[in-house]
Structure 1
Amino acid sequence: MDRLLLPKGYKDPVWLEKQLVARSEEQWQKLGQERVLALFRAMSERVPAYKDFLKRHEVDPSKVRGIKDFSQLPTIDKDNYLRRYPRDQLCWDGNFKEQSWVISTTSGSTGQPYYFPRQKSQDWQYAVMAELYLRANFRVQDQSTLYIVAFPMGAWIGGVFTYEAIKIVAERGGYNLSIITPGIHKQEIISAVKTIGKDFDQILIGSYAPFLKDILDDGEREGIKWSDYNLGFIFSAEGFNETFRDFVIKKTGLKNKFKGTLNHYGTVDLGTMAHETPLSVMLRREAVKNPRLYRELFSREDKLPTFAQYNPALFYFEQDQGNLYCSSYSGIPLVRYDLKDSGGVISQDEVRRRLSDLGYDLVDSARKAGIADTLWNLPFVYVYERNDFSVSFYAFQIYPETIKRALQSPQLDRYITGKFTMGVEYDNTGQQILQINIELKPEVGEDDKLRSKIQKTIVEKLLKESSEYRETQVMYGEKVYPEVVFWPYEDPTYFKPGTKQKWIKK
């Protein structure tokens, strides 16, 4: 094991499972604090860029004695740290060239792409987390499993990182766990399910949520009855709402709505930092139905966050005025790294207290849901879509999540894939137009009645969910109605096959 150290015992999943139940949340937080302080001290001595960064900010490392001191340290990000220093200066002892790396790139969705190196121990971090949920959610220790890696297998982190981690799990644990890596080639995924799917007790598909919908729809058109298979789904890269989870559950006949799907919270910068658990899924679904519960859990009512649990000993999260920071022994070691994500951190003890005030017993609810055996004493982190993933229309923001919910109407499912790209255009008088480009399903053509139906559905959802839109619509009427533009299935203009969907046109 190289510099990206795992705490002692983490390679033993049975031991770690027991610790997640036996240790209190307070003990996990304390371990996280000890490790993050050790990381800070090591970086202040051995990472040339960080030594200079502290000097420029007039920080004396010897005076950082406890977690309160640590929380006052200046934050780092891509601009003030990663892009400011040569790559070798960001590494331990200034050594980049004489190391062996796997390098992944960001998508560049928020600016110039950045290339992040990682080593085997970061694969181990992911493997440790993955093994825990593969055992808890999908019981890989009890049944043969085919894991289909349907994340992109190129320079982006999703596919290769997942392959390496799952390979470690399979080899270290001795599970009957096989891997196939078709990446984003839908036909290869569908062919694998048809040809070898029945040779395994279960199939797990790791995919971006919008891409999975295409897989399920296309597979159904090719004769696959998804409910004939024992399936599970693992998502990454972006959030989704519970309507989408319900779609997956119904389409595939998932038996356990809390264990059958989970989403990761991860970045190229730090890897996989947190993931949904049966408990967090249960709470999120309850919150969607119960506004009082929603307000107790989350800081904003206009957006539904991804709600996950994390291990502070591996990834130490902080929040500051709705901004999320994380520290970890990553490929490039990072402390108080500004993720540029909005969200919050909340302890499980605090969640239990808030829910108790509403007469909601968390443990009893978990028992009734059949997930009591998956409860871990770990804190929660929640993350919203990035603020720059929205369009400004008449001086207020419209978020993709609202449009997603509108297009997920069962009445529209036979006509459209659910993918879209929205932006603001201007007519020849300078009038703003909210334009929504929508992908049609195969063999579905343009139709004015369908266009009107979709426009009406979107307007109704905006009126329901956005007070600013309601006020603006009263003043301007149909001028604020969206322009719906149809595109053929997989048209490369906005819906290039195999690429991460761009919900916003900047």
Structure 2
Amino acid sequence: MKKILIFAFLAVQERFVRLFMPRVSTHQLLLLPGIESLRWTLGRWRAWRTFELAAKKVPAYRQFLAKHDFPGRLPGNGTVYDEFSQIPEMDKDSYIRPWSTEERCLGGKLPRRGVVVDESSGSSGVPTSWVRGPDEREATRQLLQLGFARTSKALDKQPFVLNAFSLGAWATGMNVTSSLTDVTMIKSIGPDKDKIIQTMQEFGTGFTYIILSYPPFLKALFEDTRLRWQDYDIVAAFGGEGISENMRAHINKYTHGAFGSYGASDLEINLAIETDFSVALRQAVAEHPKLAARITKQDEYGVLPMIFQFNPYGYLIETNDAGELLVTIVRRENINPRIRYNIHDRGHVMRVRDLKPILREYGLTQVLSEQLLDLPLLFHYGRSDLSVDFNGAVVAPDALRDVIYNEQALLDAVENHRLISYEDAAGNRQLHIALQLNEQATESKELDVERYLGHVVTELRRMNGDFNNAIRTAPDSTLPTVAFYPYRTGPFTDDGRKLKNEYVWQLDGDEVGDWELDFSYTAQQ
């Protein structure tokens, strides 16, 4: 009886929402403050309903549950969250690859019309195709338009969106373009500095340019001296990877603000967004170690988390025992449901109502003053499957990124970075930390690289206690090495050929010995 009443209520409530589906104002109503508990509860009920719908109508999911000896329904006797947490999690290897796209669709077949196919970047392997039906694309469109409306409301000039995400079949570039075309002026350029600069020169300073791209591209764009950036009004939005607060400050020299979005091709491109409140909280975490220890896992992962806000009415986000995020898209409209999907990102969720007393306790009223939405917070620490192990410690490329971006000289000089794990001739696992100098730093040779070689290791040890202990106990022959490489040399020879930067390499042999090292350093215990 409990399930029947809940599902009937959801049907009535969602039918009401669908009557106003073309209106962004409907979604704005769902984000009003004061109904945080309602959103939280409805999201869990919708996840329950979506699970049982998928278990009934998706052939692959029925087989997946049978393989795990799990029934296709929840008892409904305890709390939804506790019962939902018993459902087996899925990921690309356990669910996406074993079954065909059709088998993973509602009814076991693809709709004849209205389906868009895009693909992931393939950063962890071969690119994967994803199908999105008309209803879920409409939902994504409205969420992106809502975010855009909030951004553009504060602008004095007409907004002009320059979409510099990679175009073609890639999920982000495609969805951004299709979602924003009917609400703003947009030019989809892709990551091409020349065309962006040419466009801004052509259209002049009468617009506020909202430039969307990956953080490394934004940094390189604003450092291009062909344009007088101070003459233009610019807002930056980024996705694909995180940034340090020093990097944000660097980009903000050229813009009115830089805000990130969290998403994934496997799920959706805009699961969560940075807000003024989440950015202020992140900066407070960076400045107050006691606050960081209280609400984050920064000490455990050795990296300052990105902090976003998300709508629990649309997504149920959990954390498994390994510290990885499990995401359920709770909308029943998705033709290819994902239930407790593990994208292998580290993170956790915290409700604003639980955070407020802690901020007051530390006297951080200035952070509280930035709070507009009472949406829960998502703390994100990067990919769990794109880290490397060293003597029992986990080292994340995001931690190396923060070391580089938190030192102005390195921020100005380093083009890319990479953690390289390989096996030497004696069979020992080694860690090589590679940093690529940009063209200017390579030519000028102004960076005191010998000074910063040791600095990189020292900072990584300071940020990550496990890594520090791992170095202290490692045999001398396996201590990590650090090297700076001139632009497009060594492990960076082929950089720029892929959609996204590669930050981790796992090599089978001692290929590092083939690279010419002008400056190298071996960590000291």
TM-score normalised over the length of structure 1 = 0.85
Map 1:414-429 → 2, pairs under 5 A: 414-417=412-415, 419-425=416-422
For residue 504 of structure 2, what is the aligned residue in structure 1?
504
Contact 1:5–1:121 (CA under 8 A) maintained in structure 2: no
For residue 36 of structure 1, what is the aligned residue in structure 2?
47
For residue 114 of structure 1, what is the aligned residue in structure 2?
128
C-alpha separation in 2, matches of 1:96 and 1:472: 50
Task: Specify the code of the residue in structure 2 equivalent to 1:61.
Answer: G
Q: 1:478 to 1:20 in 2, by over 3 A?
A: same
Match of 1:354 among 358, 367, 381: 358
Task: Specify the code of the residue in structure 2 equivalent to 1:133.
Answer: G
Task: Specify the code of the residue in structure 2 equivalent to 1:461.
Answer: E
Q: 1:312 to 1:227 in 2, by over 3 A?
A: same
Structure 2 residue 301 is matched with structure 1 residue 326: no
C-alpha separation in 2, matches of 1:263 and 1:405: 16
Contact 1:64–1:70 (CA under 8 A) maintained in structure 2: no
For residue 206 of structure 1, what is the aligned residue in structure 2?
212
Structure 2 residue 140 is matched with structure 1 residue 126: yes
Q: 1:236 to 1:5 in 2, by over 3 A?
A: farther
Task: Structure 1 unaligned segments of length 5 or more: list them.
Answer: 171-176, 255-259
For residue 349 of structure 2, what is the aligned residue in structure 1?
345
2:339 is paired with a residue of what secondary structure? strand
Map 1:66-465 → 2, pairs under 5 A: 67=80, 68-96=82-110, 98-139=112-153, 143-168=157-182, 170=183, 177-200=184-207, 202-218=208-224, 221-222=225-226, 224-250=227-253, 252-254=254-256, 260-271=257-268, 272-301=270-299, 302-321=302-321, 322-328=323-329, 329=331, 330-361=334-365, 365-367=367-369, 371=370, 375-408=372-405, 409-417=407-415, 419-425=416-422, 432=430, 434-442=432-440, 444-445=442-443, 447=445, 450-465=448-463
Deviation at 1:203, TM superposition (A): 0.6
Deviation at 1:225, TM superposition (A): 2.3
Deviation at 1:149, TM superposition (A): 0.6
Aligned residues: 478
Contact 2:105–2:336 (CA under 8 A) maintained in structure 1: yes
Deviation at 1:27, TM superposition (A): 0.7
Deviation at 1:79, TM superposition (A): 2.1
TM-score normalised over the length of structure 2 = 0.82
Deviation at 1:462, TM superposition (A): 2.6
Contact 2:324–2:384 (CA under 8 A) maintained in structure 1: no
Contact 2:62–2:72 (CA under 8 A) maintained in structure 1: no
For residue 52 of structure 1, what is the aligned residue in structure 2?
63
Task: Specify the code of the residue in structure 2 equivalent to 1:285.
Answer: Q
Contact 1:427–1:433 (CA under 8 A) maintained in structure 2: no
Bigger drift between 157-166 and 37-46 goes to: 37-46
For residue 512 of structure 2, what is the aligned residue in structure 1?
none
Contact 2:434–2:483 (CA under 8 A) maintained in structure 1: yes
Contact 1:151–1:207 (CA under 8 A) maintained in structure 2: yes
For residue 522 of structure 2, what is the aligned residue in structure 1?
none
For residue 27 of structure 1, what is the aligned residue in structure 2?
38
Task: Specify the code of the residue in structure 1 equivalent to 2:448.
Answer: L
Contact 2:121–2:499 (CA under 8 A) maintained in structure 1: no
Task: Specify the code of the residue in structure 2 equivalent to 1:53.
Answer: F
C-alpha separation in 2, matches of 1:239 and 1:412: 17
Q: 1:74 to 1:474 in 2, by over 3 A?
A: closer
Q: 1:144 to 1:83 in 2, by over 3 A?
A: same
Task: Specify the code of the residue in structure 1 equivalent to 2:188.
Answer: T
For residue 510 of structure 2, what is the aligned residue in structure 1?
none
For residue 257 of structure 1, what is the aligned residue in structure 2?
none
Q: 1:199 to 1:464 in 2, by over 3 A?
A: same
Contact 1:88–1:97 (CA under 8 A) maintained in structure 2: no
Contact 1:105–1:268 (CA under 8 A) maintained in structure 2: yes
C-alpha separation in 2, matches of 1:131 and 1:203: 16
Deviation at 1:474, TM superposition (A): 5.5
What is the root-mean-square deviation in Å for CA atoms of aligned residues?
A: 2.9
1:215 is paired with a residue of what secondary structure? helix
Deviation at 1:17, TM superposition (A): 2.8
Contact 1:150–1:184 (CA under 8 A) maintained in structure 2: yes
Q: 1:97 to 1:450 in 2, by over 3 A?
A: same
For residue 482 of structure 1, what is the aligned residue in structure 2?
481
Bigger drift between 178-187 and 457-466 goes to: 457-466
C-alpha separation in 1, matches of 2:173 and 2:263: 13
1:335 is paired with a residue of what secondary structure? coil
Percent identical residues: 23
Q: 1:104 to 1:303 in 2, by over 3 A?
A: same
Q: 1:61 to 1:428 in 2, by over 3 A?
A: closer
Contact 2:115–2:131 (CA under 8 A) maintained in structure 1: yes
Task: Specify the code of the residue in structure 2 equivalent to 1:392.
Answer: D
Deviation at 1:404, TM superposition (A): 2.0
Deviation at 1:460, TM superposition (A): 3.1
Contact 1:148–1:189 (CA under 8 A) maintained in structure 2: yes
1:243 is paired with a residue of what secondary structure? helix
2:408 is paired with a residue of what secondary structure? coil
Task: Structure 2 unaligned segments of length 5 or more: list them.
Answer: 1-13, 507-525
Contact 1:134–1:140 (CA under 8 A) maintained in structure 2: no
Bigger drift between 150-159 and 494-503 goes to: 494-503
Q: 1:192 to 1:473 in 2, by over 3 A?
A: same
Task: Specify the code of the residue in structure 1 equivalent to 2:201.
Answer: K
Deviation at 1:10, TM superposition (A): 5.2
Q: Deviations over 1:416-444 (max 9, x none)?
A: 33x22231356666673524141322473
Q: 1:163 to 1:295 in 2, by over 3 A?
A: same
Q: Deviations over 1:209-251 (max 9, x none)?
A: 1111111112xx21x222222111111111121111111112x
C-alpha separation in 1, matches of 2:412 and 2:62: 58
Contact 1:318–1:326 (CA under 8 A) maintained in structure 2: yes
Task: Specify the code of the residue in structure 1 equivalent to 2:232.
Answer: Y
1:234 is paired with a residue of what secondary structure? strand
Contact 1:323–1:340 (CA under 8 A) maintained in structure 2: yes
